[in-house]
């Protein structure tokens, strides 16, 4: 009778240990390689369509939180960038040719609208607005 009670306790301890080990090593849910992806918001604030006085067409985009906020972001492959336009005019979120490992273009994103892109390639992405090329943002994507 007593040995049966001991056996039940031993079995219970072993079951708890196995379940605990499975959770701890991340065997449930696709293995330990699985990484939580995130969505990072980048916002165009009001009046960001206005170019700085010293800036002229042909100059490189200005990387400043005044235009895209935040204007420098580090994320991982598989993360999503959400561009949010809180300005009063339409903007784009477009990679600069030859200055991004992958090209993408949101097209015109109207006031109050947003657009999402999930990055698949590591590297540095230089992004600007085709309608207002003084606006720049740099996204670093880690492998
Ligand atoms: Cu714009």
Closest residue by Cα to residue 64 from 83, 81, 84, 44:
44
**Residue 10 bridge partners (DSSP):** none
Alpha-carbon distance of 36 to 6, in angstroms, equals 42
Does 143 have pLDDT greater than 80?
yes
pLDDT score of 4: 72
Give residue-wise pLDDT tens across range 20-47: 565 555 555 555 567 799 999 999 999 9
pLDDT score of 13: 67
Domain ranges of the chain: 1-34, 39-142
Ligand 1 centroid – CA 131 distance (Å): 5
Alpha-carbon distance of 121 to 79, in angstroms, equals 10
Global pTM reads 0.76
Ligand 1 centroid – CA 91 distance (Å): 3
What topology is assigned to 39-142 in CATH?
Answer: Immunoglobulin-like (2.60.40)
Ligand 1 centroid – CA 1 distance (Å): 80
Closest residue by Cα to residue 99 from 60, 131, 42:
60
pLDDT score of 20: 56
Give residue-wise pLDDT tens across range 114-133: 999 999 999 999 999 999 99
pLDDT score of 80: 98
Ligand 1 centroid – CA 35 distance (Å): 34
Ligand 1 centroid – CA 80 distance (Å): 21
Give residue-wise pLDDT tens across range 83-98: 999 999 999 999 999 9
Alpha-carbon distance of 13 to 125, in angstroms, equals 52
pLDDT score of 18: 54
Q: Which residue has the higher pLDDT, 21 or 3?
A: 3
Ligand 1 centroid – CA 102 distance (Å): 21
Give residue-wise pLDDT tens across range 63-78: 999 999 999 999 999 9
Ligand 1 centroid – CA 114 distance (Å): 13
Ion ligand 1: residues, CB < 5 A: 91, 129, 131-132
pLDDT score of 3: 72
Ligand 1 centroid – CA 66 distance (Å): 12
CA 9 from chain centre, in angstroms, equals: 48
């Amino acid at each position: 009778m007593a040995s049966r009670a001991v056996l039940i306790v031993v079995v219970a301890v072993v079951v708890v240990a196995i379940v605990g080990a499975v959770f701890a090593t991340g065997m449930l849910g696709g293995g330990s390689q699985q990484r939580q992806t995130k969505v990072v918001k980048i916002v165009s604030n009001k009046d960001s369509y206005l170019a700085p006085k010293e800036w002229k067409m042909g100059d490189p985009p200005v990387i400043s939180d005044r235009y895209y906020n935040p204007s420098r972001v580090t994320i991982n492959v598989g993360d999503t960038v959400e561009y949010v336009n809180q300005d009063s005019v339409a903007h784009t979120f477009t990679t600069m040719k030859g200055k991004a490992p992958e090209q993408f273009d949101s097209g015109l994103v109207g006031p109050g609208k947003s657009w999402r892109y999930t990055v698949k390639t590591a590297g540095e992405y230089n992004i600007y607005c085709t309608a207002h090329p003084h606006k720049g943002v740099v996204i670093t994507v880690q492998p």
